[in-house]
Amino acid sequence: MSKMVIKRFACNEIYTKVGETVRGKNVFIVQTATQDVNEDYMELFLLCDTMKRSFAKSVHVVLPHFGYSRQDRISEPRETVSAKLIADLIVKSGADHIVTFTLHSDQIQGFFDIPVDNINAQKLFVDYFKKKNLRDAVVVSPDAGGAKSAKNFAVQLGFPLAILHKSRPRHNVSEVTHVVGDVRNKVPIIYDDIIDTAGSVCTAKEALVQAGALDKVYLAATHPVFSNPATERLEKANFKEVVVTNSIPISPEKQLSNLKVLSLAPLIAKVIQNITKEKSVSNLYL
């Protein structure tokens, strides 16, 4: 671990300084996007620039949660594609390589002009749920966009797949209109990439129970954004278990009684080790 100075001036501008020489070194910056996503990114840009101006040989950014990833296309007139803009800013600030986990859409890799390792955290969930020895379970994708990832998850667990068809009348609001697949008398595992306000997944649980599924619904997602009122909604929904990774730190006030957090740390360590030794990274999660 390198010595770093990160502080703020009276005007709230961020100051960064590396406390030792990095000249000719391969530098790994581990930074994720939390609820303070704008502050996190500004800090990351300055850290990358600091390393480049300190003559680092290469700057590898380990970004467990890529913030702004859901704004990856223009769905309505006069919108921005924020994911592309953030990618450009990271590259411009001096990053040579990105390591991230479970991007919202795979095509975001193409937004970068530098190599990107998009690590799928799915293996962590597969290993976890296999140990539960669940019977009559079904993997559920909360929308059509996540069907491919959910199908792969279902295949690895040996469970059938169901897909929910939903509509979004406005931002952070969703309505389930159809349940595609047999969920009657089964234990659902809702599998998604992000839990933001938890409105979609809580609505999904209600729809599954109404369609005949057992009221023992598991929720699994890589990134626990947990924007308000997510905690209250998840507690009220009474999931059997909410399983997430620590790609985003969960503050004490957002802890759930049924929360299980899977650590990305061993996987990140292996990824960094393999990059340093110029070995394959894909074999760690495929």
Cross-strand pairs, 178: 165
Catalogue all structural domains in the chain, each as residue range(s) with its CATH number: 4-120+266-284 (3.40.50.2020), 122-263 (3.40.50.2020)
In this model, does residue 242 exceed pLDDT 90? yes
Annotated catalytic residues are: 166
pLDDT over threshold 90, residue 75: no
Rounded Cα–Cα distance for residues 10 and 171 (Å): 35
| pTM recorded for the entire structure | 0.92
pLDDT given for residue 182 in this prediction? 94
Do the Cβ atoms of 138 and 150 come closer than 8 Å?
Answer: no
> Tell me, what amino acid is at 148?
K
pLDDT value of position 172: 55
Question: Quick check: 167 pLDDT over 70?
Answer: no
Cα angle, residue 41 at apex, residues 37 and 43 outer, rounded to 5°: 120
Q: Which amino acid is at 203?
A: T
Counting residues of the chain whose pLDDT is more than 70, the rounded percentage is 95
pLDDT of residue 65: 98
Q: What is the mean pLDDT of residues 91-117?
A: 96
DSSP string, 224-279: E---TTHHHHHHHHT-SEEEEESSSPPPGGG--TTEEEE--HHHHHHHHHHHHTT-
Residue 283: what pLDDT?
Answer: 84
Mean pLDDT, residues 22-39 taken together:
97
Residue 100's nearest CA partner among 245, 261, 255, 254 is 245
Please tell me the least confidently modeled range out of 42-51, 164-173, 174-183: 164-173
What average pLDDT does the structure give for the chain?
94
pLDDT at 170: 63
